Each structure stands twice: as structure tokens, then as C-alpha cells.
Amino acid sequence: MDHFGYRAGELICEDVAVAAIAEREGTPAYVYSTQTFVDHFDRLRAAFAELNPIICYSIKSCHNLHILRLMRSLGASFDVVSGGELVRALEVGADASRIVFAGVGKTDDEIRMALGARVGWFNVESEQELERIDQLCELSNASTGAALRVNPDVDPHTHRYTTTGKRETKFGVDVDRARRVFREFGRDRRVRLTGIHLHIGSPVNRVEPYVEAVTRALQLVESLRVDGLTIDTLNIGGGFGAHYEGAEAPAAQAYAEAVIPVLRARGLQLILEPGRSISANAGILLARTIFTKRGGDKTFVIVDAAMTELIRPALYEAYHFAWPVKPANGMVPPHRGRDLKLDGTSLVDVVGPVCESADLLAPNRWLPPIQRGDLLAIFSTGAYGSVMGSRYNSRPLAPEILVDGGDYRVIRPRESYDQMLAAERS
């Protein structure tokens, strides 16, 4: 699952004691495990090897340049959704011809940037966008590959805020409209519309929605081919699960075994856009207890990390396992599930110091005794943790630290107050 675990009663990342990192680098801090990134990427690649997919790591899930460089060294390409993410991919020397550029609202500047960089595919989400990319190609005498994002109308059974493949969403177009779009734009354009892009939501902890989505996409591919159109690429998006609670996500192998038989020998280049399945379990958020207090019948553990470092609980009521780095009485957690309730634990809410009631990191948890000063780890925060961080309440951005074996490096230092104010001091 990952390379975070308890050894001799304390939390270790690979071969480094997490408490030692906190002593030197302070808290709050994100700590990542190199080997976990590597394992997850390798497993996905091995699982889908028969179809030789282009694996476009979804930059939005964890975008630090050091992580991107690591992904590139493993053979990943990139899924970008903004000019900023494109700049990041190019900065680490990505092969632009294997980059996919998604997003419902690409601006002219972003389209020009991507054309200039010669990205492989625009994942196009509307007729107006296609029209505009075609015009901008015309103006700069350029051309590009493109895939149309199609909503196959399947239910991924995930949070409504992260469900995207239903018929009516702001993303992509429905299947009926897709046919019309291909007829209008599928020939003789500077935008070579020869691909279909799917992304049904995330996390999707079942394989069936993928099979259903791919099956519907293939029906569309066949009917378009009958019309004489060329369709050579199928991008099935990301959304593969991660282990937030234990072992709830299907293995890469399980997704592959379900999808490969449907896709085999279809004459389609497969593209994948995994984010969290690679990055979520590769990171923890490290926090120190500032105070504990009682409020009515509740006990609050107030830590120095907050919704500014991890907004997922506030935004999606997402569950992240939390546990002391050196638990009292050697109470090492046997698993990371919601129902963990060991003898000697008590019910607490782990909260941040930000002035919002939604600033809950781990509400209603049975935790070992926690004192002021104790370190806590919030698990599975490698995806959509630091990237969704903010400076709300004028909290400087927390550092990112990458462990590799017995060593670690600070891959983004803690922001100082001076750095935080610099752009406004004119």
C-alpha cells in the first residue's frame, strides 16, 4: 500500500523516523515517500503493459517539480489542465508530444501556449472550444491532435462533487452530441479530432464503471468508423482508487484485467491519467498538537495543520486516517479503517486553528491519549493535499519533504512571512 508504518512504536517513512523530520523541519509539513510513488507507477504500468498505454500522470494531484521529475524518470508523461501545469511539465523536460491538455475553460493564451509547445492532444470539452482551437491553429499555421471528452453517462458511485461522467455535467459532451461534433469536426480540420477522452469521476473504487464507460465509448468509436472517420486514441482518464481506509481500492491489476479484454485489438492507442492512485498514499501531513480542550461533551485536539493544508475533509467530508507519530502506551494501529477503536483510546475531533467550523481534519476518532506537543500524522494526503493548499488566515505555505530510503530532502521549503508578503510590498 505504502511505505509508512510503525516500527518500534513510532512512525517511519521508508527508513526515516518521521519524528526526526518534524524536529528538524518543523510542522505542519507534507512528507512523501519516493518508493511509494515508484511502486504505484510501476504496478500500473505492469498491469496495463499488454496495451502499451501512454501513462499521463495527473499533475493536479501532486505537482511539485521534484515529484514530476521522478515521474518522468519512470517513463510517465503528463495530464495538464492549465498553463501553469503545462509550464511545470515543460520545466521537467516532458516530451510535449505525449502531453494531454484538459480543462473546460482553456483561455486563448493557454491554447496558444499549448500549440506553441506542440502538446500531443487537447482533451476538448465543447464545440466552441474546438472551433476556437481550430481558429488559433489557422492563425499560427499550426495543427494539433485532439480527443473529445465524452460523458458516457455512468455512475462512478463517488462523492457528487467528484462525479463527472454523468450526462449533465460541465465537463465534456454527452454521447449524442459527440456524434454530431465528430461529424462536424472530424475531417479536414487543423485540429485532428481522432480521439475520445473519458473521465468518469474519482475516486472510483470499482472496476465496473470503467468497463461500462469503455464499452459505451467503443460503440461510439465503431459508429464513427462506419461513418468513415478515423478514431485512433482512447483516453480512459484517471480516478483509480487509493487506500484511504485500508484496502478499499482495487489493485491496478484488477482495473487492467477488467478493461483490457474489452479494449484488446481495437486499433486504439490507450491513454491513462492516474493521479491519486499514484500520489495519495505516497504522502502524509505531519502536524503537532497545540492544545487539547473540552467543549460540551466533545474533546478537541487542536493541531497546527488545518484546512489550509488539507481541504478534503471540509470540501468532501473526506476520510483521512490520523494517528500519533509516537502513540502513548505503544498503541500502534492495526489498520487505517474508520471503525478502529482500541482499548484505552477516547473519542476526539482533530481540528485545525483556522477560523472556520469546517476546519476539521479528523472528526470523531478513537485516538490514544494525546498531549500538547504530540505529533500526529494524517495519512494518504499525497494527492490533493499541498496542491489545494491556501494561505487563508495568512498562514504561509507548508513545506514538502521527500524521503528516499534513509535520506530526505526538502523539496519545497516552508514559506516565510517575508515571502508571503513580498508580492504585495510595492
CB of 282 to ligand LLP, least distance (A): 12
Shortest Å distance, C-beta 115 to ligand LLP: 20
Residue number with CB closer to ligand LLP (283 or 327): 283
The least distance separating ligand LLP from the CB of residue 159, rounded to whole angstroms, comes to 8
246-272 per-residue burial string, b: 16 or more CB within 10 A, e: under 16: eeebbbbeebbebbeeebeeeebbbbb
**Could you tell me the smallest distance in angstroms from the CB atom of residue 227 to ligand LLP?**
26
Under rule CB under 6 A, residue 199 binds ligand LLP: yes
For ligand LLP, what does the binding mask look like between residues 294 and 323, x meaning CB under 6 A? ------------------x-----------
* Site size with ligand LLP, rule: CB under 6 A: 20
Binding mask 320-359 for ligand LLP (x = CB under 6 A): ----------------------------------------
Q: Which of 14, 85, 273, 374 binds ligand LLP (CB under 6 A)?
A: 273
Contact region for ligand LLP (CB under 6 A) — 40-48, 84-92, 233-241, 323-331?
233-241
* Residue 239 binds ligand LLP, judged by CB under 6 A: yes
Query: Could you say whether residue 283 binds ligand LLP (CB under 6 A)?
Result: no
What x/- string results for residues 58 through 87 when contact with ligand LLP is judged by CB under 6 A?
x--x-----------------x--------
Least distance to ligand LLP, CB of residue 143, Å: 23
Q: Which is nearer to ligand LLP, 366 or 392 (CB)?
A: 392
Under the binding rule (CB under 6 A), the answer on residue 40 touching ligand LLP is no
The residues assigned a catalytic role are: 355
Kindly list the residues in this chain that would bind ligand LLP in the complex (CB under 6 A): 58, 61, 79, 102, 162, 199, 202-203, 237-240, 273-277, 312, 383-384
